[in-house]
Amino acid sequence: MSFVDNLVLLGSGTITIGAPHNNLRITRILKCLSELGLERFNAGLVLHVLNEQSENAELKSPFIRDSMDRWWANCIRDDYEREWIGRTISNVRIGQLGFTRQMYEKALEGRRLAGKFSNEVLGTNAYNPV
């Protein structure tokens, strides 16, 4: 496991060394954003981490992957967004999809314009349920 795998960059620019308790803090931040009416930022954070894992092989420690798969993705309250992100993560995990920065940006821009994530961002074969 590399040093970079243990880093988590928080919104304030603070870098913390990855450990399970730090991942729990991120879960709490995501839940807090939802409670404060700022849930729209949750999906961006989760998808950013997925992009780093998929395209750059960063932030891939077992602790971070487990927290993201089991907790962070499920902090999203909107059923459609939670399912879309969950399937996207699953497709990356099984090697069916490489989640690029371009896909990340298209997904967020599509959501901004249409009000929801589009399956077209991921390609026609990439969004099959796992």
Q: How confident is the model over 29-86, as pLDDT tens digits?
A: 999 999 999 999 999 999 999 999 999 999 988 889 999 999 999 999 999 999 999 9
Over range 100-105, report the average pLDDT. 94
On whether the pTM is more than 0.85, the answer is: no
Q: Residue 87: its pLDDT value, please?
A: 93
Closest by alpha carbon to 73, among 93, 56, 101? 93
Q: What are the structure tokens assigned to 10, written together? A: 């928080």
Is the CB of residue 39 less than 8 Å from the CB of residue 77? yes
* Spatial distance between the Cα atoms of 105 and 2, rounded to a whole number of angstroms: 27
Asked if pLDDT for residue 129 goes beyond 90, the answer is no
Phi and psi angles of residue 50, each rounded to the nearest 5 degrees, phi first: -60, -40
> Confidence band (pLDDT; 50, 70, 90) for 19?
low
> Confidence band (pLDDT; 50, 70, 90) for 122?
confident
Is the CB of residue 107 less than 8 Å from the CB of residue 121? yes
